[in-house]
Amino acid sequence: MSARMSPGRTFAAHAALITWTLVALFPVFVIVINSFKSRKAIFADPLALPWPGNFDLVGYQTVMKQGDFFLYFQNSMIVTMGSLFFVLLFGAMAAFALSEYRFKGNTLMGLYLALGIMIPIRLGTVAILEIMVASGLVNTLTALILVYTAQGLPLAIFILAEFMKSVSDDLKNAGRIDGLSEYRIFFSLVLPLVRPAMATVAVFTMIPIWNDLWFPLILAPSEEVKTVTLGAQVFIGQFVTNWNAVLAALSLAIVPVLTAFDLVGLVNRSTPNLDPDLAGYTVEPDFKAALTRLKPDLVNISTYSDSHADYACAAMEAGAHVFVEKPLATTVADARRVVDGAKANGKKVVIGYILRHHPSWKRLIAEARALGGPYVFRLNLNQQSSGATWEVHKTLMQTTSPIVDCGVHYVDVMCQITDAKPIEVRGMGLRLSNEIAPDMYNYGHFQVLFEDGSVGWYEAGWGPMMSDTAFFVKDVVSPNGAVSIRMPESARSDDHDTHTKTSTIRVHRVGQPDLDLSMADEPGHQDLCEREQAFMARAILEDIDLTRHMEDAVQSLAICLAADESVRSGNPVKL
């Protein structure tokens, strides 16, 4: 073929290339034009260009507000760049070793690595997940970087080894005679000469990593370590509600953890009506005897608050880890006793702050933190209870007032939003029923003052007299706007799911339209309990340090107890 092509052929070649370019760019073009249009306009005519009639930036506004896209982007960046760095570094080094040094098994090693090109790393997902769980790397960017480095190495080594073979031996030998170390020869003589190959490998390596959804979903699905591709899935769920696939994959990640527990026995002073699932178990009345006989690994204490501390300590002394319902105890001294017992016995104590495992509450906390303090916290939960629920409430009130029993959750939320220390608590309450002890009150509210100026209000009332109006206020106000959880009007105040179901989060920013984040498909109470259980399992299996977890529980209890003291004394309590 002649070096110069005839004009006809030149034209044909360019036409073919341009056509292909247009075809390849078309989807990108459609994405870009539609991103500037309203939802209705997109579906009305997907190919229409944006013009004043259909122009809408709502897509970008949603992305900017919902989900921390800069964080996702940063995560993707860190993962991609980190993996790329290690793939190029280790890939080039291995390629250099394979091409430069003669050693036993050199060819075999090359073949073994080449095999890695043909076997997709996803086949090993389950094993990788197990390794990551065992090493406590789940939900870290490190896990992703490690996997992607492994994924990228075979091809990188294969390509780079070929290129390195072509680097002149004389040059390397000249370096050796001049006294350069093998590292200097590698870094300053060989690497610069294979730069074009490195660039090729970089592109080959980078694209699949950046686009990957599989490993982020399985190894790092939590909010702080989400990558852009995974973060974008939030929006898919919002409109298409195709959560099945995503949740199925997510469940995979939890499965090995959930199977960690096996129920060995039940203890109760009376004989409750058991759920059919528990039919095979007998209920023992004596806790100490059960501990001695069953030697459980974990004891779940869901008794009334005044017995928490004693049972928890007894369980830990018998060698068991403890899951205890909130509040941890009825006095700060008892709570401390449990924490000290956990440290002394080297046992894990998880306190049942279920809201900590709730995506909507996590989201509320994240959105509120994003607004910036100081904050006003307006939180309440009144329960119009009657019948069996009222009986439970009355038994609870033999030891604990409503603001202490439920307040610990919400004080915990306040403390997670503002990192400032609480400094003062003021409380007041009223006894609205003769069915409770003369010194108990079934309605109360308190205010907490924080070091940064934040103020918190919490209200709780139980009983048949309570009203259904504004019984569920979950509202955080800051100088820049507010974040609230909104309930459907039909919600009932004594339904268990009401505590944990949240429906919609509304983000209001000053001067901007409100943004409603639908939490429709969110987990129910059972699902949350499973997450809590999974956390317990991880704490034990991965030896997670729970010091902060326990200290938070003691602190929120201390605040609520201070509120109770303030109710009774009529004076503010300094913390």
Partner 1 sequence: MGALELKGITKAFGTTEVIKGVDLTVNDGEFCVFVGPSGCGKSTLLRIIAGLEDASGGDILLDGKRVNDVAPAKRELAMVFQSYALYPHLTVRDNMGLALKQAGKSRAEIAAATDKAAAMLALGPLMDRRPAELSGGQRQRVAIGRAIVRTPKLFLFDEPLSNLDAALRVATRIEIARLHRDLKATMIYVTHDQVEAMTLADRIVVLRAGKVEQVGTPMELYNNPANTFVAGFIGSPQMNFLDAAALGFPPGQAGIRPEHVAISREGGALAGEVSHVEKLGGETLVYVRNDLHGLMTVRLFGEHDFAVDETVHLTPDQDRMFYFDTDGHRRA
Stretch that binds partner 1, among 171-179, 227-235, 297-305, 359-367 (CB under 8 A): 171-179
Stretch that binds partner 1, among 185-193, 196-204, 237-245, 555-563 (CB under 8 A): 185-193
Q: Does 170 bind partner 1 (CB under 8 A)?
A: yes
What part of residues 22-81 is at the interface with partner 1 (CB under 8 A)? Answer: none
Determine contact, residues 407/427, Cβ cutoff 8 Å.
no
Q: How far is the CB of 365 from partner 1 (least distance, A)?
A: 53
> Of 192, 285, 319, 479, which one interacts with partner 1 (CB under 8 A)?
192
400: tokens are 């604990």
Q: Does 171 bind partner 1 (CB under 8 A)?
A: yes
Alpha carbons 232 and 237: distance in angstroms, whole number: 9
Cβ burial of 58 (10 Å; 0-12, 13-18, 19+) is middle
Q: Does 196 bind partner 1 (CB under 8 A)?
A: no
Dihedrals φ, ψ of 200, to 5°? Answer: -60, -50
439: tokens are 């010194």
Count of CB atoms within 10 A of residue 429's CB?
23
Q: Does 174 bind partner 1 (CB under 8 A)?
A: yes
| 107/259 with CB nearer partner 1 | 107
| 182/424 with CB nearer partner 1 | 182
Q: Does 103 bind partner 1 (CB under 8 A)?
A: no
Q: Does 173 bind partner 1 (CB under 8 A)?
A: yes
369: tokens are 């933190």
| 170/262 with CB nearer partner 1 | 170
- In degrees, to the nearest 5, what angle opens at C-alpha 24 toward C-alphas 19 and 30? 110
Determine contact, residues 429/459, Cβ cutoff 8 Å.
no
Stretch that binds partner 1, among 187-195, 206-214, 355-363, 389-397 (CB under 8 A): 187-195
Stretch that binds partner 1, among 189-197, 251-259, 370-378, 505-513 (CB under 8 A): 189-197
Q: How far is the CB of 192 from partner 1 (least distance, A)?
A: 6
> Of 48, 117, 180, 234, which one interacts with partner 1 (CB under 8 A)?
180
Q: Does 152 bind partner 1 (CB under 8 A)?
A: no
* Sheet with 349-352: strands ordered across: 298-301, 321-325, 349-352
> Residues touching partner 1: how many (CB under 8 A)?
15
Stretch that binds partner 1, among 54-62, 172-180, 467-475, 524-532 (CB under 8 A): 172-180
| 12/174 with CB nearer partner 1 | 174
Q: How far is the CB of 159 from partner 1 (least distance, A)?
A: 21
Alpha carbons 128 and 219: distance in angstroms, whole number: 9
Q: How far is the CB of 196 from partner 1 (least distance, A)?
A: 14
Q: How far is the CB of 169 from partner 1 (least distance, A)?
A: 9
Q: Does 107 bind partner 1 (CB under 8 A)?
A: no
What part of residues 385-424 is at the interface with partner 1 (CB under 8 A)? Answer: none
CA distances from 537 to 194, 260, 325, 349 (A): 49, 7, 16, 11
DSSP H helices, 178-276, are: 182-184, 191-193, 195-211, 214-219, 228-240, 243-258
Q: Does 176 bind partner 1 (CB under 8 A)?
A: yes
CA distances from 348 to 149, 341, 536, 543, 550 (A): 34, 10, 8, 8, 10
The residue type at 64? M
Stretch that binds partner 1, among 89-97, 167-175, 254-262, 370-378 (CB under 8 A): 167-175
Among 257, 332, 334, 276, CA closest to 301: 334
| 188/569 with CB nearer partner 1 | 188
Q: Does 188 bind partner 1 (CB under 8 A)?
A: yes
User: What does the DSSP 8-state code read for residue 37?
Assistant: B
Q: Does 453 bind partner 1 (CB under 8 A)?
A: no
Among 467, 309, 473, 336, CA closest to 400: 309
User: Where on the chain is the footprint of partner 1 (CB under 8 A)?
Assistant: 168, 170-171, 173-180, 188-189, 192-193
